[in-house]
Amino acid sequence: MRIGVLTAGGDCPGLNAVIRSVVHRAVAGHGDEVIGFEDGFKGLLDGRHRKLDLDAVAGILARGGTILGSSRLERARLREACETSKDHARDYGIDVLIPIGGEGTLTAARMLSDAGLPIVGVPKTIDNDISATDRTFGFDTAVGVATEAMDRLKTTAESHQRVMVVEVMGRHAGWIALESGMAGGAHGICLPERPFEIDALVKMVEERFSRGKKFAVICVAEGAHPAEGTMDYKKGEIDQYGHERFTGIGNRLAAELERRLGKEARPVILGHVQRGGTPTAYDRVLATRFGWHAVEAAHRGDFGMMTALRGTDIEMVPIAEAVTELKTVPVPRMDEAESVF
Ligand code: F6P
């Protein structure tokens, strides 16, 4: 069998572990050939690819990013890819394509699959917002980075009697904010799923200081926003990939808290630090298992399906199931974290 593999969308710790696992299982396990397309679907359209053998993936398990490169595809180019998808399989002689990507990539993968290209998907995102899988690799690493940041910020916040507003990634789903906020002991957590009340945040900080506490940490997801009419906050425009451009809730919230509390507040925007660097052991294992199962699925002819973690098992689920709606934080999970506002 000849397998094509690509990584698309925002990168994520663990992508290289999937690529390595696909190559190991396919080449060493089945005697397959693997080619990697460069820079996501763009490499497929432009014919940029290279052979991936065991040597090509040596030493990449612990490496962040993706050795294949990644990109987002504009809608017009995606249509072009669908129209010519069967030609790609023929031109490159591939029996199956394994795209590794998030919601956008899986939507593209589904379209290509519907257009006749044999596909086995692998979900990835630090945001953990893909339905149909309990977890995505990259999430554990991102939560670890954000938690460590909060641990560090607490000591400097306390020294200066400050409020720290830590902005983490999460456009529509607040999983990183929820879990890093809980693990880092944030006193306030703001999620995209529930508009926050600025008055309640102010009250919480005032109460802390009145009890003799000398600092507060608030963890805010980049997609969080205040309840209507409670605080000025301008939403951004939509970019060419259909994503809202954020105007900086971390900065805005820190400024508002400083004004209302009369205490120093500092914003800390963690940004892409959460996506870079080496994956945790958990993410390496999950990514490796996804790669192994994707190759097995390809050999069974399970096309139009993707790997998913269900409990502790890896199962194959229709890609369609993963892209119909985002997995957001449900209310009972918010209730467990006392500090969600
Ligand atoms: O991977 C998803 C994500 O991390 C979002 O949480 C974030 O808003 C986005 O990527 C930013 O990606 P980029 O800056 O690469 O467009």
Packing angle, helices 198-210 and 249-261, rounded to 10:
50
Is 127 among the catalytic positions?
yes
**Residue 200: count of CB within 10 angstroms of its CB:** 12
Residue 339 CA to ligand 1 center (angstroms) comes to 25
Count the domains in the chain. Answer: 2
Catalytic position from the list 11, 32, 39, 127: 127
Mean of pLDDT values over 246-273:
95
> Hey, which of 275, 283, 327, 328 would you mutate to test ligand 1's pocket, going by the most ligand atoms within 8 Å of its Cβ?
275
Q: From 216, 251, 275, give the residue that closes a domain.
A: 275
Pocket of ligand 1 (CB under 6 A): 10, 102, 125-127, 169-171, 222, 275
CATH code: domain of residue 12? 3.40.50.450
- Separation CA 240–CA 237 (nearest Å): 10
Residue 328 lies in a domain: no
**Closest to 216 in 3D by CA, of 287, 157, 264:** 157
**Nearest atom, ligand 1, residue 274 CA:** 4
Predicted TM-score of the model (pTM): 0.95
What does the pLDDT read at residue 213? 96
The DSSP element (H or E) to which 87 belongs, if any, is helix 85-92
15 in Cβ contact with 294 (< 8 Å) = no
Predicted confidence (pLDDT) per residue in 114-154, tens digit: 888 999 999 999 999 999 999 999 999 999 999 999 999 99
**Nearest atom, ligand 1, residue 102 CA:** 1
Predicted confidence (pLDDT) per residue in 27-67, tens digit: 999 999 999 999 999 998 888 999 999 999 999 999 999 99
Residue 329 lies in a domain: no
Residue 340 lies in a domain: no
What does the pLDDT read at residue 87? 80
> End-to-end alpha-carbon separation of the chain, Å?
52
The rounded Cα 295 to chain-centroid distance in angstroms is 23
Task: Look at residue 78 and tell me whether its pLDDT is greater than 90.
Answer: no
Q: Is 91 annotated as a binding residue?
A: no
Name the band, by pLDDT with cuts 50, 70 and 90, for residue 323.
confident
- Separation CA 237–CA 111 (nearest Å): 26
Predicted confidence (pLDDT) per residue in 222-235, tens digit: 999 999 989 988 87
